Amino acid sequence: MRALDGVTLDVAQGEFVAIMGPSGSGKSTALNVMGCLDRPSSGQYLFKGVDVANLTRDQRALLRRHYLGFVFQGYNLLPRTTALQNVELPMIYQGRPRAEREARAIAALEKVGLGHRARHDPSQMSGGEQQRVAIARALAGGPSLVLADEPTGNLDTKRSTEIVELLQQLNREDGLTIVMVTHEDDMAEYADRLIWMVDGRVDSVRKTRGGKR
């Protein structure tokens, strides 16, 4: 069985899309293709009109570095590094000057409500706060697209709601394009559109409550 089988999917700029489906349905593979982590074996993936399959490995790395932001279930923060330094890290690879990195990192932390925690390290933060730092890290480099893979998977219901409400706010107020994989029906309803996948195919697409603005 193919991980993705004949999938046709469009995500518009400024859209918030949720992807759901049973284990093995192709959700994570779809996200990895969108994030230029996996290259499709056939077909096309167009990002801003560019066929990613035709890019070299180094070109795909540059695309990830400058246009994409990633949020993971496990936060992936460096443990002995402050929130500020964690958020700055991707911008080091972008080659931004130190003063600019710090200013953008502080602005991103303030955007997610953690400006006052900039000098704290992850061990001094709750799971919800750590995920907010991870979102700030994804935002700081100025991405065109944020890919969130089970961003509420390690959080309780209250913290999960806070995180998805934050993503919705970033989408609506800042026009950030977001694609989120989730197993949680109530979290998916914050998106504009829900894509349900089964056996590597898109089974259904529908507007959500969040999409009925």
Is 4 part of any domain? no
Q: Is residue 5 part of a domain?
A: no
Write the single-letter amino acid at 24: G
What CATH number does the domain containing 192 carry?
Answer: 3.40.50.300
pLDDT band at 88 (very low <50, low <70, confident <90, very high): very high
The predicted-structure confidence for 128-172, as pLDDT tens digits, reads as follows: 999 999 999 999 999 999 999 999 988 999 999 999 999 999 999
pLDDT tier at 53, thresholds 50, 70, 90:
confident
In a domain, 6, yes or no: no
Q: How many domains does the chain have?
A: 1
Residue 8 lies in a domain: no
In a domain, 26, yes or no: yes
Question: Which residues have C-beta within 8 Å of that of residue 93, sequence separation ≥ 6?
Answer: 65
Span 15-24, pLDDT tens digits:
999 999 988 8
Answer whether residue 108 shows pLDDT above 60: yes
Tell me if 128 sits within 8 A of 155, measured CB to CB. Answer: yes
* pTM (predicted TM-score): 0.92
In a domain, 1, yes or no: no
Flag whether 52 is in a domain. yes
36-73 burial code (b ≥16 CB/10 A, e <16): bebeeeeeebebeeeebbebeeeebeebbbeebbbbbb
Is residue 177 one of the residues assigned to a domain?
A: yes
User: In which domain, by residue range, is 190 found?
Assistant: 16-207
